[in-house]
Amino acid sequence: MEVLLARENGFCFGVKKAVELTEAAAETGRTVHNLGQVVHNPKISERLGALGVKVIKDPSEAKEGIVVIRAHGVPPEMRAKIEAQGLECIDATCSLVLRAQRFTKQLADEGYHVIILGTPEHPEVVGLLGFAPAATVVETKEEWDKLPRMKK
């Protein structure tokens, strides 16, 4: 069997940026919270944990310090919660995800029924739903085939 290695490997630029921003925040000596895991990689999670970074599911779990939004982004309400608590927020949302969020909101605002392809619980999908709450999430071809015809 021949094993071929990809020329490019490692994390995408969005995850790299999120890890770098989290590490820089940890270097300040302040309490740093990641809103969800930056990346599903045990080595990175261990390294950030060793720097004192805590993983939280909701901003209410952070009483002080910095909250880092991971590359997958969050719904607008989640960002509002961070700001309402008076916590510093570092937005490490990937630029491609930000673009998808803006476009999702634009389509919803124009009256389109937005269809999101993905896993309903995936953080990026949850974030997109915050910009188009009436959107439909489709995970399988069978679900796609059952969608009714829509004008928009």
Q: What is the DSSP letter of 51?
A: T
Query: What residues contact residue 58 under an 8 Å CB cut-off, 6+ apart?
Result: 81
Q: Give which of 144, 102, 106 is closest to 127, Cα–Cα.
A: 102
The answer to whether the CB of 112 falls within 8 A of the CB of 142 is no
Q: Is 124 a catalytic residue?
A: yes
Question: DSSP letter string over 2-14?
Answer: -----SS-S--HH
What's the confidence (pLDDT) of residue 98?
97
CB neighbours (10 Å) of residue 97?
Answer: 19
Q: Give, in words, the CATH class of 98-145.
A: alpha beta
Domain residue ranges of the chain, discontinuous segments joined by +:
13-93, 98-145
Q: How far apart are CA 25 and CA 31, in angstroms?
A: 9
Q: Tens place of pLDDT for every residue, the chain, 152 residues?
A: 898 877 777 788 888 999 999 999 999 999 999 999 988 888 999 999 999 999 999 999 999 999 999 999 999 999 999 999 999 999 999 999 999 999 999 999 999 999 999 999 999 999 999 999 999 999 999 999 999 988 87
Report pTM. Answer: 0.85
Give residue 4's pLDDT.
Answer: 81
- The CATH class of the 13-93 domain is alpha beta
* Confidence (pLDDT) at 9: 73
Which residues does 62 contact at the CB level (< 8 Å), separation at least 6?
31, 33, 54, 56, 82, 85, 87
Catalytic site residue from 2, 8, 61, 124: 124
